[in-house]
Structure 1
Amino acid sequence: MSKTIAFFPEAAFGPALNSVGIAQAVEALGHKAVFLSDPGFVSVYEGYGFEAHPVNLSEPMPPEQMAKFWEDFINGHIPNFRKSPIDQVDNYVKDCWTAIVDSAKWAQKDLPGVLAKIKPDLICVDNVILFPAIKQFGKPWVRIISCSENEIEDPKIPPHLSGCGEKDYAGHKAYRDHFNSVIKPIHDDFNAFLAENGEKPYPIGQFFEASPYMNLLLYPESVKFEREHPLDGRQFQYLEGCVRKEKPYEVPPFAEKNDKPLIYISFGSLGAGDTDLLKRLISTIGKLPYRALVNVGDYKDQYEDLPGNVIVDSWFPQPSVIPQVDAVIHHGGNNSFTECLYFGKPAIIMPYVWDGHDNATRVDETGHGFKMPRYDWTDADLAAKLDACINNPAMKTKLAATSAHMQARSGPKKAAGILDELVRTGAYNG
């Protein structure tokens, strides 16, 4: 019997497109997938053929103004991208959590009415904060963790956003202590909001909880952490990424070096605002024996006199591009991180914010690529890392094994099967 499954991803392309992949698989099982959406993302879901219902996550404004708000937010923080994760807590991270708490307050105004209208049988939320209306709607709800798995805390693993190494326990403590100190006024405000809405307060540092029904982690098995408290499979399942299908992509001919290895460079739609870094990478690649496809987002008009071995564009169908390249340079966003592993491609991660720091550290310490600072590098550093990505036999072997493991387990299909059991029976028994 067909049920209605609602998806409520964060207003960012990573969570949005992961949910699209799961929603496509859910519909293949005969259910109806609908989206609860930030107004600026409604057209994204409609473009994939889904019904989408707007939920204001901030003061209502036209979609193009909303897109500009986040673009300006990120671009205003570009100087902070040079700082270590712990030094970003006082600026970027604090500002983010302030905006995220505000989004939960705004959502609470719209969500009860929207849920009453669409009457979902199951709700899947991919965000870092609790929306009380979802928990209180009276139907099973699922948490999707599309960022690094350390969003689900454990005493033995690095804190979320810290970029700490797995065994750097002193670094773990220093980050946790600093984060909790800086975030306390924001956290107190959020707990007051929870109390107003009949929810118990969260301990310091926590803004969300695990769902008692099911939590789906997109993190791949090959890079997951060893926990002090292993996650119970009846409540937590790893999806090995959720790589969506995109239209085919044909690599265009280059003016030069057509026989050389192909690199793909992308810092995501928001990271594209760091044009100085992208121009520096393009200049360096221009002197090296490679070709490069470079995602420059909305800033294409700022790129002139490109080297003959570089092609820039505002957007690429990434899951169709990555299988055709030899290495990827990216910012550590979860889609790029898992897609590189899924297709067995080495990555150089130059993180700037959020879980990019965690993913960069993890790709390096598990031998699937390299972590590189965004600004403190030389042309020789980049050349050496690219050479190792393309020619290191141990890395090739590891990536091939990870890719085979992930591709043997279809993340969206597995997620859809779990959601199907939950929506039919009210529980997942594994």
Structure 2
Amino acid sequence: MTESLTVMFMPESAYGPTNQCIGLGKVLLDRGHRVVFAAEASWAGRLEPFGFVEALVDLAEPDPDAEEGAAGQFWIDFVNETAPEFARPTRDQLASFVQPTYDALVTGARYAEPRLREIIAEHRPDVIVEDNVVSFPALMTSDAAFVRIVSCNPLEVRGDDIPPVFSGYPMADRSQWVDFLAEFDRVHADTWTEWDAWCREQGAPPLPPRAFMHTSPTANIYVYPRELDYTDARPLDDTWHRIDSSVRETDEDYDLPPELADRPDGSGLVYLSLGSLGGADVELMQRLIDVLGTSRHRVVVSMGPRADELRLADNMSGAATVPQTKVIPQVDLVITHGGNNTTTEAMHFGKPMVVLPLFWDQYDNAQRVDELGYGVRLPTYAFSDDDLLGAVDRLLADTDLRTRLDAIGADIRARDGVRRGAEIIERVGLDHRGDR
């Protein structure tokens, strides 16, 4: 039997990174290891049922008068308030969304630092796994081994021959890259300089240019299918490990309602989700529902945190949350915001995508899916009814693409990314314990 380790995860508070870590953590738990989640406090009571130890962290001073919200409520509120910015070009969003997001993240990390040091001292992990886009120095300066996970688009790991992260620019056209990077530097210079100095004061090494997150000298894992990857243009050193998908096995089963399972000839089954954060944009969600309600296809809708404000059409069924990893295998097409989890899960199950990006790396995933022919990117706030309905009909009718994606999905599933990721973390922990 493998020697038992204590593995501590600290995911960013949104559903994507947290669910990704839940999948890895469950495999490690089943292999006999103790798994601690240093999760943001709004996840209280949601991790313990899986068998994990909850060691919760506040990222800001708790409000004693606040009502209990959804997991990741801070980011749901933040995105909902910032949603008008998402209709702007990605270059403009650097100042209006990306920089304020980084500022909020680093402020939260500073606040959490003392609590994280307490958690590490209490639980004495052998290996600490961080899935975030900013560093938490306590995690990488402890006696434990440190593993970084990139569960966003891997353009986050920068290189000269790949588009700038957050841009959504194509690989084949470099004409806007330099200007975008210059604007990134202009907007983020002060925040980055202050953050780098603070991390050094906590004992962390210097940050790489333009990066708000350190790379582990031991092991870094990124989640992205080989079929979408950029490694031909930006090779990585041997500390980096790609896992092609990280599909959790903790979702409950999903039975299609009879009205969706029994559908007329020529109709397809579509899954619509803008993720836990994008789903907070009620106006956009309702427009998508209304347009798809005119199609002959059937639709499963993940309605999001404001589900009670949405009205589904007669050809739909949905709920605030649905077990996504059990829904996607049953559908023919995925309409998504392009979050990394949904993008990799759609590829894992071999489904074409219509991608409507909102923020952060979603533009990069949308562009990559479109330019490699696995789906269609649409302008999220400027698409016409015919744009959406036409893209859905074309993708569902493209039997060659669906055959090709069936084969790709089978290949990705055979690579068993979630177990490979868990084995990498386990090996790092065992090696580190042996070196102590």
TM band (smaller chain): over 0.9
Partner of 1:213: 218
* 1:177 paired residue among 173, 182, 196: 182
Distance 1:334 1:427 in 2: 32
Distance 1:291 1:280 in 2: 16
* 1:241 paired residue among 235, 238, 245: 245
* 1:165 paired residue among 128, 146, 170: 170
Q: CA deviation at 1:63?
A: 7.5
Q: Report percent identity of matched pairs.
A: 34
Q: CA deviation at 1:191?
A: 2.0
* 1:355 paired residue among 358, 361, 364: 361
Distance 1:141 1:286 in 2: 48
Is the 8 Å Cα contact of residues 153 and 361 (structure 2) preserved in structure 1?
A: yes
Secondary structure of 2:189's aligned partner = helix
Q: CA deviation at 1:26?
A: 1.1
Distance 2:259 2:307 in 1: 18
Is the 8 Å Cα contact of residues 15 and 72 (structure 2) preserved in structure 1?
A: no
Q: 1:63 to 1:101 in 2, by over 3 A?
A: farther
Distance 2:429 2:328 in 1: 34
Secondary structure of 1:418's aligned partner = helix
Distance 2:75 2:382 in 1: 26
Equivalent runs, 1:17-166 vs 2, <5 Å: 17-61=19-63, 64=68, 67-166=72-171
Secondary structure of 2:360's aligned partner = coil
Cα displacement string for residues 13-72 of structure 1 (whole angstroms, at most 9, x for unaligned residues): 111011111111112222111111111123221232211101222223368268543322
Is the 8 Å Cα contact of residues 256 and 308 (structure 1) preserved in structure 2?
A: no
* 1:223 paired residue among 205, 225, 228: 228
Is the 8 Å Cα contact of residues 34 and 52 (structure 2) preserved in structure 1?
A: no
Distance 2:373 2:176 in 1: 21
Instruction: Say yes or no: does 1:426 pair with 2:428.
Output: no
Partner of 1:187: 192
* 2:294 paired residue among 287, 305, 309: 287
Is the 8 Å Cα contact of residues 268 and 297 (structure 1) preserved in structure 2?
A: yes
Is the 8 Å Cα contact of residues 208 and 214 (structure 2) preserved in structure 1?
A: no
Q: CA deviation at 1:79?
A: 0.9
* 2:204 paired residue among 199, 202, 205: 199
* 1:383 paired residue among 389, 394, 405: 389
Q: 1:39 to 1:378 in 2, by over 3 A?
A: same
Is the 8 Å Cα contact of residues 286 and 308 (structure 1) preserved in structure 2?
A: yes
Secondary structure of 1:44's aligned partner = coil
Secondary structure of 1:293's aligned partner = strand
Q: 1:68 to 1:422 in 2, by over 3 A?
A: closer
Is the 8 Å Cα contact of residues 163 and 360 (structure 1) preserved in structure 2?
A: yes
Secondary structure of 1:202's aligned partner = coil
Is the 8 Å Cα contact of residues 157 and 226 (structure 1) preserved in structure 2?
A: no
More displaced 10-residue stretch of structure 1: 134-143 or 276-285: 276-285
Secondary structure of 1:37's aligned partner = coil
More displaced 10-residue stretch of structure 1: 42-51 or 97-106: 42-51
Q: 1:288 to 1:197 in 2, by over 3 A?
A: same
The code of the aligned residue for 2:166 comes to: L
More displaced 10-residue stretch of structure 1: 98-107 or 162-171: 162-171
Partner of 1:272: 279
Distance 1:323 1:69 in 2: 31
User: Please, which runs of 5 or more residues in structure 2 have no aligned partner?
Assistant: none
Secondary structure of 1:408's aligned partner = helix
Q: 1:203 to 1:298 in 2, by over 3 A?
A: closer
Q: CA deviation at 1:119?
A: 0.3
More displaced 10-residue stretch of structure 1: 288-297 or 250-259: 250-259
Partner of 2:304: 297
Secondary structure of 2:272's aligned partner = strand
Distance 2:46 2:32 in 1: 22
Q: CA deviation at 1:282?
A: 1.6
Q: 1:274 to 1:401 in 2, by over 3 A?
A: same
The code of the aligned residue for 1:59 comes to: E
Secondary structure of 1:386's aligned partner = helix
Cα displacement string for residues 108-152 of structure 1 (whole angstroms, at most 9, x for unaligned residues): 121111100000001111011111111110221100110111111
Distance 2:427 2:234 in 1: 26
Distance 1:302 1:325 in 2: 25
Q: CA deviation at 1:203?
A: 4.4
Distance 2:90 2:359 in 1: 7
TM-score of the superposed pair, with normalisation by structure 2: 0.93
Distance 2:201 2:339 in 1: 34
Q: CA deviation at 1:251?
A: 0.8
Distance 2:67 2:207 in 1: 33
Secondary structure of 1:237's aligned partner = strand
The code of the aligned residue for 1:125 comes to: E
Equivalent runs, 1:359-378 vs 2, <5 Å: 359-378=365-384
